Amino acid sequence: MIVFPAIDLKGGQVVRLAEGDMDRATVYGDDPAHQAMLFAEAGSQYLHVVDLDGAFAGEARNRDAVEGILKAFPGHVQLGGGIRSAVAVDGWFDLGVSRVVIGTAALKNPDFVKDMARAYPGGIVVAVDARDGMVATEGWADVSDVSITDMARRFEDAGVASLLFTDVGRDGLLKGCNIEATVDLARATRLPVIASGGVKGVDDIAMLKVHEADGIEGVITGRALYDGRLDLGAAIRIAQG
């Protein structure tokens, strides 16, 4: 199981939001590349980066910061946030991103995701962001009438690498990961699932590890790391088992 430390970008700074609310941002630093290097030094080979401004704008807004991260981090970088066109996908892969996360466009234009999955085998992750079991889009500002399971199943045979499931109501709040909903989704689809939202400590990592065989590929953690509640090295050791 993979631990993805998260770097969320807003105005070039490293931040964490509460429940995806841009007005509830906590700034943790103004040097994203340095933060990426710290995660690498702690033993991480994977990184999850989100262009928060891009998620709302529908196009890249923190490109310079992402480029800096890519130069500083020697491992695999997974990137999401406002990636809604083939030109955008091509551009990020050309820069050196390992995987691209597509959310809003996956709901509104599934054929686009399927085309990208064929063009970049193993490189596309579909974000399934949920409020009360329904898919949220546009930087989580809107909630659709599509269930997370229905959304996931649309892409089972599309060649996407994984599903990224976030319980928006827990994100950035340290309430604990929604283990039950994450595992239910993993069991309901043939695609691997990455857990996200609310991780507060090593117990979340350990509980997800128990369900690795159900299809849990990894877990994303942010605020718990920045607040010192979770030691990244310890989390990685548990995840690798």
What are φ and ψ of residue 99, in 5° steps?
-140, 145
Q: 12: phi > 0 → left, psi -120 to 50 → alpha, else beta; which?
A: left
Q: How far apart are CA 182 and CA 134, in angstroms?
A: 13
CA distance linking residue 61 with residue 12, whole number of Å: 9
* Cβ-contact 240, 209 below 8 angstroms: no
Rounded to the nearest angstrom, the gap between the alpha carbon of residue 1 and the centroid of all alpha carbons in its chain is: 15
CA distance 132 to 148: 10
Amino acid at the residue 229? R
Residue pair 216/182 in contact by the 8 Å Cβ criterion: yes
What is the H or E stretch that residue 17 is in? strand 13-18
Q: What is the dihedral of CA 187, 122, 74, 164, to 10 degrees?
A: -30
CA distance 151 to 203: 29
Active site residues: 8, 129
Token code pair at residue 33? 């590349």
